[in-house]
Amino acid sequence: MIYTLETIRDILPSWTQNFTRLELEVGVGRGKYLLELSKLYPHVGYIGIEKSIKWLRVADKKLESQKLSNILLLNGYVEPFFSEYAQDEQFEQIHILFSDPWPKRRHWKRRIFQSKLMLELWRTLKPLGGIYLGTDHLDYFKAIEKLFVKDLCEHYDFKLTNSFELVTNFQSKYLKAGRQLYFARAIKKQCYTMP
């Protein structure tokens, strides 16, 4: 079932109580990565957010056919979800893989990795929780790295990695096309003041 910011209000508190560990994927797309994660770790509750209802319907059909009960799909933008529903230190991990790089300078304000969202990511991650990110766009990756390494170095350990254990739809597509891919993991340090 696909929820919206309005319809999730009643279900979210009781659903999250079913799990001792919660993770979030921002930009679920067709759901390949999230569905594979949920099968590998059925004890983890996954919230998947996607702004495209078209892609979310594909993910929902897969979810229903596999009868997975540890995924909650949400149609909408992540910013209102964070401000209205996400609790402090709620997530063990947040996955943001192959988000739109918005390569033109005039569109950079649309990128998901912005200062305001960085504060929400920090607030909602548990200490030593991780943000898993990947992109095929080098300039975007460098901008993300700058946010973590220069602006938030006291709050995160930013580590480059080759890839993660599972593959997204976009990752498969880009690998077949021979594109260079960039991955990193940002681990929240155990500090007690927000950036």
User: Any idea which residues carry the catalytic annotation?
Assistant: 100
Helix/strand/coil percent split, the chain, to 5: 40, 25, 35
Name the DSSP letter for residue 87: P
- Contact call for residues 131 and 96 (beta carbons, < 8 A): yes
The Cα 134–Cα 41 span in angstroms is: 21
Contact assessment for residue 144 and residue 133, using Cβ atoms and an 8 Å cutoff? yes
How big is the chain, counted in residues?
Answer: 195
How far are the Cα atoms of 27, 96, 104, 144, 174 from residue 179, in angstroms, in the given order? 20, 19, 19, 19, 5
| Cα(195)–Cα(184) distance, integer angstroms | 20
